[in-house]
């Protein structure tokens, strides 16, 4: 039986910070390069950057923005939702996704959320592996969730365990 995958540690040169309006053009370019469908527009990014119920985080390596994540919270709910996570193709497998996911979890905890949920394309095995290695458990399928009719797997992780 193969051993379970163990997440690698985050490279020391990867830093995660809150996005600012100065990042807007790079966020849009990353979105365009990462996703073929279901893309956020510049207007949507701007709205998320300004929203009190959203956090936009970016992974930076050598002063270059190499990834981004958007997490939503709803007033009165203990569930945060990872809306989007994207890593530049040249940086995949290098720890930026793990760093972003860990930062999203810390941010959600800081806002009092006890669970984090997300959807991922059923055919995105690399993303599913990332989430499963980080302790997420699949709990449902959303049929025809994406613009092209692809299904989504829904995942959740309890955050109160640390």
* Structural domains of the chain in order of their starting residue, each with its CATH number: 14-158 (3.40.630.30)
- What's the confidence (pLDDT) of residue 160? 78
Query: Is this prediction's pTM over 0.85?
Result: yes
- What's the confidence (pLDDT) of residue 1? 39
- What's the confidence (pLDDT) of residue 13? 82
- What's the confidence (pLDDT) of residue 162? 52
Q: Which residues of the chain have pLDDT under 70?
A: 1-12, 161-162
SS3 letters for the chain?
CCCCCCCCCCCCCEEEEECCHHHHHHHHHHHHHHCCCCCCCHHHHHHHHHCCCEEEEEEEECCEEEEEEEEEECCCCCEEEEEEEEECHHHCCCCHHHHHHHHHHHHHHHCCCCEEEEEEECCCHHHHHHHHHCCCEEEEEECCCCCCCCCEEEEEEECCCC
- What's the confidence (pLDDT) of residue 49? 96
């Amino acid at each position: 039986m193969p051993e379970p995958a163990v997440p690698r540690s985050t490279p020391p040169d990867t830093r995660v910070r809150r996005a600012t309006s100065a990042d807007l053009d790079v966020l849009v370019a990353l979105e365009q390069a990462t996703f073929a469908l279901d893309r956020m527009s510049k207007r949507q990014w701007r709205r998320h950057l300004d929203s009190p119920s959203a956090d936009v985080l970016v992974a930076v390596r050598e002063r270059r923005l190499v990834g981004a994540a958007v997490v939503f919270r709803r007033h009165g709910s203990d569930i945060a939702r990872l809306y989007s996570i994207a890593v530049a193709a040249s940086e995949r497998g290098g720890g930026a996704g793990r760093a972003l996911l860990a930062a999203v979890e810390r941010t959600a905890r800081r806002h009092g959320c006890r669970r984090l949920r997300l959807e991922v394309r059923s055919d995105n095995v690399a993303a599913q592996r990332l989430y499963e290695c980080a302790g997420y458990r699949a709990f449902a399928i959303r049929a025809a969730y994406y613009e092209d009719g692809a299904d989504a797997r829904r995942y959740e992780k309890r955050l109160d365990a640390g």
